[in-house]
Structure 1
Amino acid sequence: MKRFHLLLSLTILVLIAMTGIANAQEIAPTDAPEIGEAFDDAVAEAGGLSKRIIQTFVLVTVLSLAPGIAMMVTCLPFMLIVLSILRQGVGLQQAPPNMLIVSVAIFLTYFVMEPVFKEAWVAGVEPLLNGTLSEEVAFKEIMQPFRLFMDARVDPGAVDILRDARPIETAQPVDGSTPLSLLVPAFVLSEIQRAFEIGFIVLLPFLVIDLLVASILMAMGMMMVPPAIVSLPFKVSFFVLTNGWVAVSGALVRGYS
């Protein structure tokens, strides 16, 4: 008896489902335009959703590349390399630690680049958020202050070398400016070259102290004493008395004024 009720219930459910499918397939001719409009609206909504998904993907990609972008279009590489060479010259391997060196370099970079950031925000980011500029135009407006900053610091020789090394010849921009694909790597290479030049000058006083200490130890017959251990207190005291961190940081910042 229970099996009979179960089969009856299943039969009724199947008949109801078939009736619903048949009714759904019977579309009156007068309903065709409404169905078409609904389909068009669904397609338009799907297109808008796809556009938002692509925009979100691009935004996440840009945010993930933000540290690399900051290294490529700002003075952060210059600051970081000079401060690292300065710590190496003093002879302290872990003081200040790497995190502190990077933090100081980042804030010095912000101090130098603040006018550029403000100009890029006013010219491109704010109009983009307000909807008055398209993404393409806003990108050009945002990059214009950075382009001016890089043009003022880039080595023309680096641009020429990279242009000659390009395997595929591309069209020059209408305004005659250097393409970003050439300007950015040339700027980074120029900053690295300039950082090593400044680092060499920073290392000279410490090199003199090392030579003096090594000569004195050799004259005293202390051949087995490492000169680096003896010269370290003298280098640190010299650096402290000259207020080295403030002096070097101020010189680095003034180099961009």
Structure 2
Amino acid sequence: MRASLRLPAPATLLRLGLAGLLLAVPAQLSAQTPGASEALTRALGDVSGNGAPLTLSLQILVMMGLLTILPSLILMMTSFTRIIIVLSILRQALGLQQTPPNQVLIGLSLFLSLFVMAPSIEQINARAIQPYGADQVTLEQAVATSGDIFHSFMVKQTRQTDLKLFMDIAKKPSFESAEAIPFSILLPAFVTSELKTAFQIGFMIFLPFLIIDLVVASTLMALGMMMLSPTIISMPFKLLLFVLVDGWALTMGSLAGSFVT
């Protein structure tokens, strides 16, 4: 039986959330202002254990700011982008405009993303969150460890052509290893690669339903039923085909298996 995750105190989570902002800072900014991250750390209050703690009002203000920034950042660094796009294309291929609704698709994408990212999340918890909560590592070490885990996942999913594209745009030479690629180059390359992969999977899903639409439209044309919409006739056949082949299980399994581990 898998051991349950022991999360640190809310104050620890707050400081880790503040540290997550450092992952969004491009490498060029850190290089140009070497003391920027240290100054930000000191300004945020009791991060390393030596500063004064933030007041409750400032903690609430910072937390509200994080709620608008960190979710988007984290979602773009995980498998969420590919999954939500494929599910949206699947709904369009079935000819269903609002079924499943957007809330269901987002929920499915989120929990499937948690399933795909479970190994990385467990590593972050074991190597960063738990040691930091027990005061075994500093905040900088915890952030660096978490960033390395996300970095490793993103590198495995990113195409070399997309990496080269953004390296050429940034006028950066080839890096000695994958670990040396900065987030400022890896993030856009990862998102571009995920979009390309999602549309490739979506095309393969769309193709059989397109064939059904063509067959139904040709049949109606041959019968002279010009005024009858082919979409109304083809939708039950597409739903029947999708149910018979257990489409949801195939789609979810294929999406989960499409990520390189």
Query: How does the TM-score come out when normalised to structure 2?
Result: 0.73
Q: Deviations over 1:160-211 (max 9, x none)?
A: 11122227x69x7999610011111211111111000000000000000000
Q: Distance in 1 between matches of 2:109 and 2:244?
A: 22
Shift of 1:130: 1.9
Q: Deviations over 1:27-61 (max 9, x none)?
A: xxxxxxxxxxxxxxxxxxxx869742399465554
Identify the residue that residue 226 of structure 2 maps to in structure 1.
Answer: 223
Shift of 1:78: 0.5
Identify the residue that residue 91 of structure 1 maps to in structure 2.
Answer: 95
How large is the Cα RMSD of the aligned pairs? 2.6
- Contact residue 72 and residue 185 of structure 1 kept, 8 A: no
Given candidates 116, 119, 122, the residue that maps to 2:123 is 119
Superposition map of 1:5-20 within 5 A: none
Superposition map of 1:1-257 within 5 A: 51-53=52-54, 56=59, 60-166=64-170, 177-256=180-259, 257=261
Q: Distance in 2 between matches of 1:174 and 1:136?
A: 22
1:64–1:131: structure 2 CA closer, same or farther, 3 Å change rule? farther
1:225 partner SS: coil
Given residue 53 of structure 2, which amino acid in structure 1 is its aligned partner? R
Q: Distance in 2 between matches of 1:65 and 1:93?
A: 30
Shift of 1:243: 1.1
- Contact residue 76 and residue 191 of structure 2 kept, 8 A: yes
More helix by percentage? 1
- Contact residue 151 and residue 179 of structure 2 kept, 8 A: no
Shift of 1:106: 0.6
Q: Distance in 1 between matches of 2:97 and 2:202?
A: 16
Unpaired stretches in structure 2, ≥5 consecutive residues: 1-44
Given residue 252 of structure 2, which amino acid in structure 1 is its aligned partner? S
Shift of 1:121: 1.2
Shift of 1:64: 3.3
Given residue 241 of structure 1, which amino acid in structure 2 is its aligned partner? L
- Contact residue 155 and residue 178 of structure 2 kept, 8 A: no
Q: Distance in 1 between matches of 2:239 and 2:158?
A: 34
1:62–1:126: structure 2 CA closer, same or farther, 3 Å change rule? farther
Given residue 232 of structure 1, which amino acid in structure 2 is its aligned partner? M
1:53 partner SS: coil
Q: Distance in 1 between matches of 2:53 and 2:170?
A: 36
Q: Distance in 2 between matches of 1:203 and 1:246?
A: 16
Q: Distance in 1 between matches of 2:178 and 2:68?
A: 31
Q: How many residues align?
A: 210
More deviation in 150-159 or 86-95?
A: 150-159
Shift of 1:66: 2.8
Q: Distance in 2 between matches of 1:230 and 1:103?
A: 30
- Contact residue 173 and residue 179 of structure 1 kept, 8 A: no
2:108 partner SS: helix
1:211–1:233: structure 2 CA closer, same or farther, 3 Å change rule? same
